[in-house]
Amino acid sequence: MSDELMNVLGIDIGGTKIAVCIADSQGQVLASQRLASGATAPYEQVLPQIIGQARQLMVETGLTNSIAACGICAPGPLDMVGGRIMKSPNMAWDAVPIRDDLAKALELPVYMDNDANAGVLAEFFFGCAKGKKDVIYLTMSTGVGGGIIANGRLVTGASGIGGELGHLVLDVNGPICGCGQLGCLEAYCGGRNIALRLQDALRYRQDHALMRLPEVDGKLENLNFQTVREGAKLGIPLAVAMWDEICMRLAQGIGICMATFNPEMIILGTAAYYAGDFMLQPVLAHLPKFAWKEFRSACEVCITVLGPKVGELAGASVALNGLAESGKLQL
């Protein structure tokens, strides 16, 4: 990246939280603040809060006249042409023109992208992938998202929705995914689907060892991805089997990514960050079944070093990428 220091505003939008930050092009977060409301509240109520918080941070840092751009990171689906956040199951907003609204209010160029693309950009600018050219980022939380950088450029595809790696179909006879397809990577590795499968398995088994874990407390609704992880660590057979399948299917998805893009690095975020080697090592053990040695030797599979900070830097990274794409920032 150019030695010229640029300051950008980043806005990270989620169903339950919205964070606003100011960061520079070296990855230093200069100020940040989390809003009390998330995108489950009405847009008309939240938009003034975002604008007010952004202005407050600019005043506090003394950078009101020194912000080069604003970046918005939000869950999809997004209308990239119209700059709108479309209807999402976890948000109360529907086709809201947030890009133009913020550009008008803040008098800044505003760029936007989905959270997975923003994640790979954060890794590219500030994380494991700094200095790399061909990188894939996989994030696993409620669902599974993917972001791809090829030859130093973000891959978005013909209609702007490229990189939906969570919906690679691994088995057409597999479990149903939230998208309606069967056997997606997300159906095996997404937190929501894992929780539903575990709840179905234990619906009539109150005496099962997993139901007796303190964090579960005998309640089906408390069963989740963390239950499987902790149960596998304790050697509880059902959890061990589910954890192995999660890691195997993740390795299968990684193998497809390797064969398709031949990346030099694949970064695992969110759930993998908290699981650490307990997830990474089984994934690497399964990988030879799904990827040639030539692909594996060219690619480092690793866990994000940004951790929770990736959310803070995601919106800022979208802004920096927008500046680079428009020729205002040299990478």
Say if residue 254 is exposed, middle or buried (CB neighbours under 10 Å; 0-12, 13-18, 19+).
buried
Using the predicted structure, report yes or no on whether residue 2 has a pLDDT greater than 60: no
Using the predicted structure, report yes or no on whether residue 34 has a pLDDT greater than 70: yes
Average pLDDT over all residues of the chain:
94
d(CA 201, CA 330): 53
CA distances from 144 to 127, 128, 185 (A): 20, 20, 7
Question: What percentage of the chain has pLDDT greater than the value 90?
Answer: 83
Q: What tens digit of pLDDT does each residue of 141-182 get?
A: 888 999 999 999 999 998 888 899 999 999 999 999 988 999
Hey, which CATH number is domain 7-114, 3.30.70.20, 3.30.420.40, 1.10.1270.20, 3.10.310.30?
3.30.420.40
Using the predicted structure, report yes or no on whether residue 240 has a pLDDT greater than 60: yes
Q: Where in the chain is the domain with CATH 3.30.420.40?
A: 7-114, 128-303
Instruction: Read off the amino acid at residue 312.
Output: E
pTM over the 0.85 mark: yes
- CA-nearest of 259, 131, 244, 125 to 189 is 244
Kindly report the CATH class assigned to 128-303: alpha beta
Q: What tens digit of pLDDT does each residue of 83-127 get?
A: 999 887 668 899 999 999 999 999 999 999 998 999 999 999 999
Using the predicted structure, report yes or no on whether residue 6 has a pLDDT greater than 80: yes
Quote the pLDDT of residue 327: 87
d(CA 88, CA 49): 21
